[in-house]
Structure 1
Amino acid sequence: MMTLEISTIRICGGLLLIIFLSLLFFPGYGIPNPPLDVLPKRELRGVWIATVVNIDWPSANNLTTAQQKAELIQQLDNHQRAGINAVLLQIRPSADAFYAKSREPWSRFLTGKPGQQPNPFYDPLEFAIEEAHKRGMELHAWINPYRATFDLVSTNTTADHITRQNPDWFFVYGGKKLFNPGLPEVREYITGIVMDIVRNYDIDGIHFDDYFYPYPESGKPIPDTETFRKYPNGFRDVGDWRRNNVNLLIQMVSDSVHKEKKYIKFGVSPFGIWDNKKDQPRGSASSGLSGYRQLYADALKWLEEGWVDYINPQIYFPFGNPAAPYEVLADWWSQHANGRHFYIGHAAYRANENREGWRERNQIPNQVRYARQHAHAQGSIYYSSKHISNNAAGLRDSLQYNLYRYKSLPPNMPWLDSVPPEPPFGLLATVAENRTSVILHWLPSAPAADGDEAYGYVVYRFNEGEELNLNNPQNILYITYDSKQLTYTDNMTRRNGYYRYVVTAIDRIKNESTPSNVREIYIE
């Protein structure tokens, strides 16, 4: 009996220790109903919508236009309910297009046949931008800069595809044709593609993912020796030369985008490890594949030069991973953001995996908590859309009912625009005929000091006894990205309720004005 009692004490002590450590490092872990998180008012909450091989949208390449639209609207509605405020839509999977105003052919992942436009015709990018903005979401155009084909099947490209027009621009690696980053004409061409999109569409950002030089295949060197010989640019080491080739493209795209439209954000989502400390003192305490060394992507250089507005490393690893611990990488990137925004890429697609670390179904929610509290990240982006929509491991529920339960504004970027808009004025509040709704009207803001007009408005509501605190996201009732919308109906009121309202203006970068006049109303 005594032995049993001692064993029980040991077991209980061990459980208490586990619970204590869980609460210390991962708030909410191990508690059936964890307390609600304190939420930031400004946070980028994004999701990747992948179109290559129909990963997320459209679900198949033989859908009608109506079906494509319906599928995208359903995903956007799901994301809006989950609290997402930014969509990163893949519009150029492999030197092809999910948009009409393109010098490259229509993607086969859209219509089933390369070069074939949707029938009935519509412009998917224009449609996505309009629907995202309706829901208070930014839309960033996600582009694969270097992938030219997804395979080597000739019938999967059109006769006028760029790989046929300029075959010398490409090399074959890993069963794909890839643009050769060492060629000056390639950099000019890719920058031109980006600028077509910037000039022709009302996007909020340009986004590159992690595919720069190809992921290495054992024993297969990259076939660019002749290019290195022809365009050495003063470099003797091929690794340094390749990194410089990518740097030249990043700088060219950044300069071109920001010169054309100052409000468009340029961001990159590199591999989760920049470099390992064992190979470079500035690297992280990790031992996995290195974006710097194997993909020739020097993201630290881009941050230090101010070429990117945000960095979004794909930290697709769980806490305590032996080669790439999530917490170590999150801390490292946070310490090297150089004043630019740092958003964490989360592996929503792994949320249901039965592997070490991922068996804990609150792995990603705890990663978000860690990012907020310890790494001071300005946001998160999830790969990919269908795993949020399908509520993998209950992730969408965690976002919708806890982590993202209040609306948020994307963080502003003072290096792009630091001048806030002027406030709206003349706010009026009236009780609707049904006596259960409040109708708000206001007058538009005057142009700001830099000449910018308001891009949209934020409506705040305060209940009786609540402080007029615009920093508390709980008070945000509604966000619109439509400067012409000067009215809003609050249907979440009740009889015998006392409410106060204010409205602020936001510009394209989401700088926010001071509040309008306050309107108080009592519903009898």
Structure 2
Amino acid sequence: MKFFNYLSSALLLTLFLNNAQAQQSIIPKREFRGVWVATVVNIDWPTKPGLTTKQQKDEFIKLLNEHQRQGINAIMFQIRPATDAFYAKSEEPWSQYLTGKQGQAPNPFYDPLQFAIEECHKRGMELHAWFNPYRASFDGKEETISANHITKNKPEWFFKYDGKKLFNPGLPEVRAYINKIILNVVDNYDIDGVHFDDYFYPYAIKGQVIDDTEAFILHNNGIKDIKDWRRYNVDELIHQLSDSIHAHKAYMKFGISPFGIWKNKSQDPQGSETFGGDSYYGLYADSKKWVQKGWVDYINPQIYWSFETKAAPYNKLVDWWSENSFGRHLYIGQGAYRINATKDLSWKSPTQFTRQISYNRLNSRVQGSVFFSSKSLTNNPLGIADTLANKYYRSLSLPPLMLWLDSVAPNKPQNLLAVEDDKGILLSWKLPLVSKTIGKDKTYGFVVYRFNEGEEMNLDNASNMKAIYYGDITSWEDRGVEKGKTYTYVVTTLDRVKNESEPSTPFIISVKTGKTNPKP
């Protein structure tokens, strides 16, 4: 019997490795490939506060260009790290991490969020506006907080914990205020999503007490246990925001990146086979409920552990979340910052990270990854950024579809033309036809496909995608063509949730021959 079990285990391992290797050779046409760009204490951008506007822009463009090279297609941009703003249309003061002084605008003036949106979209990247809803101060230094900061105008809305000020989630007016702040961005900026990380109630620190007893007495809504009430408060914010965001823009994505463990199985039979801290009891965040109720469009658990971590094995948590995603998208938060940077020897191997990506792709309920953080990838530890660019993300990829937001594809582009110029092949086309059922607002971007002579026109093969971008630009130049070769091009339309149209009429062109042949 032992010998039989040994053979079975060996066979399963061999099958897994073979499947993983096969999976590596197939690049999904749709896959979420995100990266967090953290601005708090200048983790990723800008590299230090007080840089000139040109320096800030140059740094951001360099950052995006590197992530584009790596194959990233979504940026989680932290725009409100501590009840402050990296955007102009805000009631809250400019962030000190941008200009060096809270409340001080960039000089020369520009809007970092608007700039980031435009630069991401021209590179075929989504921008998800990352908010920290409850953190009001990060370092507890009162002298750095501006005179018009909400902590000074509404001191009764906050409690102190570990020297930092946090919004009290138990106050209805606090939840209304946060809802208003986020909707302001939804209404005024062309973002692709609203994103939260894992900070709700604070991580427990020995000797610290959450000072919310008075709020509990006033607003308990009949809930007897203060811990259940705290979870109710977080649930209320998530539920209200989900309804509000989708009421203002039905296509807007709303996602949360919670702590990687909901509950351990020792705490609840429905929990994961882990032995670590948890979000349900530790942070009063019932992350499983948010997915089950359909309040979020994607869940992005931070599984920053290795396969070998006994208390929280990577594969056990990926499996658990995939079984509890309830039809919503699941993107795995992966700890790029840990590569070659911890005492854990498993992170000293470059295969730890690639094994994780392969494991994700073998699970049909996992639609992608988000990496923490930008700097960790651009520093290229153990060559991981090069591996992404040359192997796992070597082809372009579209974000996965969210059919519950919108399932109607836009109309296809019109009048595709191609001409040869001194740099390559210049394509141009016209916007899709507008119909009563599919309006003008359905056109949000385009995908350009190229096929070699004699090659099947397979739009499901990611390697055939040569350009993805969001916007109404109706031309693109292909500088990767070779003299004497013949190519076929088609273009498709994307809408805001990345539904894709039927392809345009193909256009065939032979390079350096002077002959063009639009296919009938």
Shorter-chain TM-score range: over 0.9
Paired residue type of 2:80: R
The residue that corresponds to 1:280 in the other structure is: 268
Contact 1:438 1:489 in 2 (8 A): yes
Deviations 1:96-146 (A, max 9, x none): 111111111111111111111111111111111111111111111100000
Counterpart pick for 2:170 among 158, 171, 182: 182
Stretch deviating more after TM superposition (199-208 or 423-432) = 423-432
The residue that corresponds to 2:397 in the other structure is: 408
Task: Give the drift of 1:426.
Answer: 1.8
Task: Give the drift of 1:375.
Answer: 5.8
The residue that corresponds to 1:503 in the other structure is: 491
Confirm whether residue 369 of structure 1 aligns to residue 358 of structure 2: yes
Task: Give the drift of 1:227.
Answer: 1.4
Between the aligned partners of 1:475 and 1:389, the Cα distance in structure 2 is 26
Confirm whether residue 493 of structure 1 aligns to residue 513 of structure 2: no
Deviations 1:4-24 (A, max 9, x none): xxxxxxxxxxxxxx9998765
Between the aligned partners of 1:512 and 1:124, the Cα distance in structure 2 is 30
Between the aligned partners of 2:92 and 2:65, the Cα distance in structure 1 is 30
Between the aligned partners of 1:159 and 1:84, the Cα distance in structure 2 is 39
Contact 1:331 1:375 in 2 (8 A): no
Confirm whether residue 162 of structure 1 aligns to residue 150 of structure 2: yes
Runs of 4+ in 1 over 3 A off after TM superposition: 18-29
The residue that corresponds to 1:5 in the other structure is: none
Between the aligned partners of 1:276 and 1:41, the Cα distance in structure 2 is 35
Contact 1:275 1:291 in 2 (8 A): yes
Between the aligned partners of 2:355 and 2:374, the Cα distance in structure 1 is 19
Deviations 1:444-485 (A, max 9, x none): 1123624233111111111122111101001001112122x2
Contact 1:424 1:503 in 2 (8 A): yes
**TM-score calculated relative to the size of structure 1:** 0.92
Paired residue type of 1:419: V
Q: Which runs of 5+ in 2 are unaligned?
A: 1-8, 514-520
Query: Number of aligned pairs?
Result: 502
Between the aligned partners of 1:28 and 1:391, the Cα distance in structure 2 is 27
Deviations 1:224-283 (A, max 9, x none): 122111111121122211111000000111111111111211100000011111111111
Contact 1:62 1:112 in 2 (8 A): yes
Q: Secondary structure of the equivalent of 2:54?
A: helix
Between the aligned partners of 1:138 and 1:83, the Cα distance in structure 2 is 13
Confirm whether residue 299 of structure 1 aligns to residue 297 of structure 2: no
Contact 1:27 1:366 in 2 (8 A): no
Paired residue type of 1:48: W
Q: How does 1:228-239 map to 2 (within 5 A)?
A: 228-239=216-227
The residue that corresponds to 1:417 in the other structure is: 406
Q: How does 1:69-80 map to 2 (within 5 A)?
A: 69-80=57-68
The residue that corresponds to 1:351 in the other structure is: 339
Q: How does 1:508-519 map to 2 (within 5 A)?
A: 508-519=496-507
Confirm whether residue 437 of structure 1 aligns to residue 440 of structure 2: no
Paired residue type of 1:443: K
Deviations 1:24-55 (A, max 9, x none): 555699x9xx9953110001111100000110
Q: 1:315 to 1:287 in 2, by over 3 A?
A: same
Between the aligned partners of 1:294 and 1:318, the Cα distance in structure 2 is 22
The residue that corresponds to 2:433 in the other structure is: 446
Confirm whether residue 150 of structure 1 aligns to residue 129 of structure 2: no
Q: 1:373 to 1:142 in 2, by over 3 A?
A: same
Q: 1:457 to 1:126 in 2, by over 3 A?
A: same
Identity within the alignment, %: 55
Paired residue type of 1:142: W
The residue that corresponds to 1:242 in the other structure is: 230
Counterpart pick for 1:314 among 302, 316, 326: 302
**TM-score calculated relative to the size of structure 2:** 0.93
Paired residue type of 1:407: L
Contact 2:125 2:469 in 1 (8 A): no
Q: Secondary structure of the equivalent of 1:357?
A: helix
Q: 1:251 to 1:487 in 2, by over 3 A?
A: same
Confirm whether residue 270 of structure 1 aligns to residue 267 of structure 2: no
Contact 1:26 1:369 in 2 (8 A): no
Task: Give the drift of 1:522.
Answer: 2.4
Q: Which runs of 5+ in 1 are unaligned?
A: 1-17
Paired residue type of 2:75: V
Between the aligned partners of 1:248 and 1:111, the Cα distance in structure 2 is 34
Between the aligned partners of 1:500 and 1:147, the Cα distance in structure 2 is 53
Contact 2:414 2:433 in 1 (8 A): no
Between the aligned partners of 1:300 and 1:181, the Cα distance in structure 2 is 19
Counterpart pick for 2:471 among 462, 468, 482: 482
Contact 1:445 1:453 in 2 (8 A): no
Between the aligned partners of 2:12 and 2:381, the Cα distance in structure 1 is 26
Deviations 1:46-84 (A, max 9, x none): 110000011001111121111111111110010011111
Task: Give the drift of 1:205.
Answer: 0.7
Deviations 1:175-227 (A, max 9, x none): 21110110001000100110111111111111000000100112433221221
Between the aligned partners of 2:134 and 2:32, the Cα distance in structure 1 is 27
Paired residue type of 2:30: R
Q: Secondary structure of the equivalent of 1:367?
A: helix
Q: Secondary structure of the equivalent of 1:374?
A: coil
Stretch deviating more after TM superposition (50-59 or 353-362) = 353-362
Task: Give the drift of 1:351.
Answer: 0.8
Between the aligned partners of 1:394 and 1:279, the Cα distance in structure 2 is 39
Q: Secondary structure of the equivalent of 2:363?
A: helix
Between the aligned partners of 1:382 and 1:22, the Cα distance in structure 2 is 27
Paired residue type of 1:486: T
Q: 1:419 to 1:226 in 2, by over 3 A?
A: same
Between the aligned partners of 2:19 and 2:52, the Cα distance in structure 1 is 44
Between the aligned partners of 1:388 and 1:197, the Cα distance in structure 2 is 28
Q: 1:35 to 1:173 in 2, by over 3 A?
A: closer
Stretch deviating more after TM superposition (193-202 or 449-458) = 449-458
Contact 1:73 1:131 in 2 (8 A): yes
Q: How does 1:19-58 map to 2 (within 5 A)?
A: 25=16, 37-58=25-46
Between the aligned partners of 2:223 and 2:319, the Cα distance in structure 1 is 33
Between the aligned partners of 1:378 and 1:35, the Cα distance in structure 2 is 14
Between the aligned partners of 1:464 and 1:270, the Cα distance in structure 2 is 48
Q: 1:26 to 1:89 in 2, by over 3 A?
A: farther
Contact 2:103 2:146 in 1 (8 A): yes
Paired residue type of 2:120: A
Between the aligned partners of 1:513 and 1:127, the Cα distance in structure 2 is 28
Q: Secondary structure of the equivalent of 1:77?
A: helix
The residue that corresponds to 2:126 in the other structure is: 138
Q: 1:23 to 1:159 in 2, by over 3 A?
A: farther
Between the aligned partners of 1:253 and 1:355, the Cα distance in structure 2 is 39
